[in-house]
Structure 1
Amino acid sequence: MDIAMIGLGRMGANMAERLHRGGHHVIGVDPGEAARTTAAERGFEVSASIAETLAALPVPRVVWLMVPAGVVDQTLASLSPHLSEGDVVIDGGNSYYKDSMRRNEQLQGEDVTYIDCGTSGGVWGLQEGYSLMIGGDQAAVERIGAIFRTLAPAEDRGWAHVGPSGAGHFCKMVHNGIEYGMMQAYAEGFALMQHKTGFNLDLAQVAKAWQHGSVVRSWLLDLSADALARNPQLDGIAPYVEDSGEGRWTVAEAIDLDVPAPVITLSLLERLRSREKNSFSDRLLAAMRNEFGGHAIKTT
């Protein structure tokens, strides 16, 4: 199948290479010369021009977007003049699901199908395959199913057409919210063991023991075990945790639907807290304790 992969960041390039290995004709498109050079070295065609790429592919075409959520509309505006009836545009990034529903309606007016595909797998997807949560028109999904079967860990698992437009990115949003909570639980548990200095625990050893037979075994635990084996004290890593935005969307959706999601919400707030170098709230807490109880204040 002929595919234009727009966006050759690490994940986009990995997906393009997996598709190329699977026998698909892939042209990677990226404005960055360094990204194009690296992608060309990996064996598939590259281009700097959306117009030239689409002109080189037979109609109907498949265009896969792997760009940040904030530039999807801009990318679609560049694409739109070059799209034809029957083309399929797949957004494999972390777009907000309501934006995906809006874009689907917009492209329907141009007789182009928009598919939202929540994609999980990170930098390991090239070797292990990707988990794909697909939303959109069923007939279109079936027509291009070979693409999803190639990207997934196996033809019959790891991917699903989960529902109509927006459903794919909605499921990926919730997936990432769950991920926040799982990561926070592991982080707190290992911090607790690290502080139990009397036992002198080898955290990498504990993690490896948990990898087999434990009810808390998971891929996140596997990655934690690897990280702790390489750097037991996590030296050189700042206690600063970013968020992709999907945790925020998940919490907002939970509020809108009146669904309690305290673990996901608190895990998001902990990430926000990690970025405060000189917390005003903590300093005010210390000041209040001094005011009502005369408790000592530590000065900087």
Structure 2
Amino acid sequence: MLNTIGVIGLGVMGSNIALNMASKGEQVAVYNYTRDLTDELVGKLNGESIQPYFTVQDFVQSLETPRKVFLMVTAGKPIDSVIEALIPHLEAGDIIMDGGNSHYEDTERRYDELKEKGIGYLGIGISGGEIGALQGPSIMPGGDKDIYEKAAPIFTKIAAQVNGNPCCTYIGPKGAGHFVKMVHNGIEYADMQLIAEAYTFLRERLHLSVDEIASIFETWNQGELKSYLIEITAEILRKEDELTGLPLIDVILDKAGQKGTGKWTSIQAIDNGIPASIITESLFARYISALKEERVHAEGILTGPANSQNHLDKNEWIDYIRQALYMGKVCAYAQGFTQFKMTSELYGWNLPLKDIALIFRGGCIIRADFLNVISEAYQEQADLANLLISPYFAERVQDYQMGLRKVVCEGINAGISFPCLSASLSYYDSYRTGISNANLLQAQRDYFGAHTYERRDLAGVFHTNWQ
């Protein structure tokens, strides 16, 4: 019997995807550039229908036609190298699918190159980490829709399921799937940083213990903040270090890494004039965290505000922080979905925003209860300019803005860095301001560079001889 699909790249994600496919009834061929990972996967098998191969030729020949090859390979040149090795063994009509975190522009280039050879190419955004890969991730496929339909039965089977519906939907042409995954990761960066800032206020300003904060996050996860990241934050704070007996969080070095998708999200937004300040601040927060030695040195030189912090009512401020975190998350998702919308219009992708919100509900890292509300907002108004002005969220941010203002002001007065909470407040206040200070900026530009300006009261373009 020929295999129904092949997986190349047997790291943790690739192995788990292969096991997931096999558990859903697929006959899976697997191949890895180095044999050790193949042998490791074979050693884990317990009757799954997975067949290992040790040459690209044997791997390809084992697949039924049209051949479906799923790549779980490091983004960048390794993807190009694998595609180059596959091409001599493939035929017109075969399909290559990239499930890694490739840049969407690389996906578009590969799509064009393979289309000339008659080979289909899909860029598949996958979110959920190693557990999601095994048990059901959120899947964001992009490429030609007729090519996607040939692989759709496999993807809808292996995806996470919410209320009987797969967390997988056709996203759009060419690189749209990888683009949506990229911005998903940007939202993830912002969401994580907002949670970290809420934790910092609870710890440093309210002086709560790690256990007390864990209990707060557990409570929050029973309400409108319910989400995967809130859930795992509570679990993280409960974890004790086996070596010291301290909370594990207190022995983890405060240097955060990143693999590029958050940076790509910010760069794409900047290149196309899309406001993504919260996502970008979360990226910069990771960058400054990497300056650990500099920060430790600066701590002995630079001072913060005098230690005259007034007493805060614990219960009152815990609720302010809950409101601030919720509003910050709404603003971050609003920026991410605005980036989806504006880029979709720029490229003519027609991204299905209501469906994207739905497939984020299961499997993926940013899954949260209010994604149902986001989907409903786009269901009711497909051309919604911004989530903040949808009736549900407009009412919520109206109710919660004072909580965010209080927390940001109190944190700043206490010398706590709040890059994303403060960016959320600035974004909200900027977006709701009908007449901004950009008129002065434009006047300055015209003064020193004759860049011209428009008027509020007259049509046309104007220039003033300011001197």
Q: Same fold (TM over 0.5)?
A: yes
Q: Is the 8 A contact 1:3 1:61 kept in 2?
A: yes
Task: Provide the secondary structure at the position in 2 that maps to 1:173.
Answer: helix
Counterpart Cα distance in 2 of 1:8 and 1:186: 33
Match of 2:103 among 90, 96, 99: 96
Verify: 1:278 aligned to 2:284, yes or no. no
Verify: 1:252 aligned to 2:254, yes or no. no
| Partner residue, 1:192 | 201
Task: Provide the secondary structure at the position in 2 that maps to 1:111.
Answer: coil
Counterpart Cα distance in 1 of 2:236 and 2:302: 38
One-letter code aligned to 1:236: V
Task: Provide the secondary structure at the position in 2 that maps to 1:202.
Answer: helix
Match of 1:21 among 23, 34, 39: 23
Counterpart Cα distance in 2 of 1:235 and 1:249: 31
| Partner residue, 2:232 | 223
Q: Is the 8 A contact 2:7 2:70 kept in 1?
A: yes
| Partner residue, 1:205 | 215
Deviations 1:9-28 (A, max 9, x none): 10111110010011101011
Task: Provide the secondary structure at the position in 2 that maps to 1:161.
Answer: coil
Correspondence list, 1:1-300, <5 A: 2-40=4-42, 41-42=44-45, 43=48, 44-70=50-76, 71-126=78-133, 128-154=135-161, 156-196=165-205, 198-200=207-209, 202-213=212-223, 215-231=224-240, 232-279=247-294, 283=298, 286=301
Counterpart Cα distance in 2 of 1:197 and 1:256: 40
* Range 186-195 or range 101-110, more displaced: 186-195
Counterpart Cα distance in 1 of 2:62 and 2:299: 63
Counterpart Cα distance in 2 of 1:51 and 1:223: 43
Counterpart Cα distance in 2 of 1:63 and 1:236: 43
Deviations 1:119-166 (A, max 9, x none): 001122145411111111111111221111122113733111111000
Q: Is the 8 A contact 1:18 1:150 kept in 2?
A: no
Report the CA distance shift for 1:256/1:284 in structure 2 as closer, same or farther (over 3 A): farther
Report the CA distance shift for 1:284/1:234 in structure 2 as closer, same or farther (over 3 A): closer
TM-score (norm 1): 0.89
**Based on CA coordinates, which of the two structures has the bigger radius of gyration?**
2
Following TM superposition, by how much is the alpha carbon of 1:278 offset from its aligned partner in structure 2, in angstroms? Answer: 2.6
TM-score (norm 2): 0.58
Report the CA distance shift for 1:121/1:199 in structure 2 as closer, same or farther (over 3 A): closer
Which aligned runs of 4 or more in structure 1 are off by greater than 6 angstroms?
A: none
Among the aligned pairs, what percent are the same residue? Answer: 34
Q: Which has the higher strand share?
A: 1
One-letter code aligned to 1:21: S
Counterpart Cα distance in 2 of 1:209 and 1:281: 34
* Number of equivalent positions: 288
| Partner residue, 2:413 | none
One-letter code aligned to 2:216: V
Deviations 1:161-209 (A, max 9, x none): 1110000000001000000000000011112212246444612211111
Deviations 1:185-239 (A, max 9, x none): 00111122122464446122111111101x2221011111111111335143211
Task: Provide the secondary structure at the position in 2 that maps to 1:4.
Answer: strand
Task: Provide the secondary structure at the position in 1 that maps to 2:20.
Answer: helix
Q: Tell me how large the CA RMSD over aligned residues is.
A: 2.3
Unpaired runs of at least 5, structure 2: 241-246, 305-467
Q: Is the 8 A contact 1:20 1:26 kept in 2?
A: yes
Q: Is the 8 A contact 1:207 1:221 kept in 2?
A: yes
Q: Is the 8 A contact 2:255 2:292 kept in 1?
A: no
Counterpart Cα distance in 1 of 2:158 and 2:281: 33
Following TM superposition, by how much is the alpha carbon of 1:50 offset from its aligned partner in structure 2, in angstroms? Answer: 1.5
Following TM superposition, by how much is the alpha carbon of 1:279 offset from its aligned partner in structure 2, in angstroms? Answer: 2.4
Following TM superposition, by how much is the alpha carbon of 1:281 offset from its aligned partner in structure 2, in angstroms? Answer: 12
One-letter code aligned to 1:207: F
Deviations 1:61-84 (A, max 9, x none): 000000011211111111111111
Counterpart Cα distance in 2 of 1:221 and 1:254: 27
Counterpart Cα distance in 2 of 1:73 and 1:285: 48
* Range 200-209 or range 54-63, more displaced: 200-209
Following TM superposition, by how much is the alpha carbon of 1:277 offset from its aligned partner in structure 2, in angstroms? Answer: 2.7
Task: Provide the secondary structure at the position in 2 that maps to 1:249.
Answer: helix
One-letter code aligned to 2:266: V
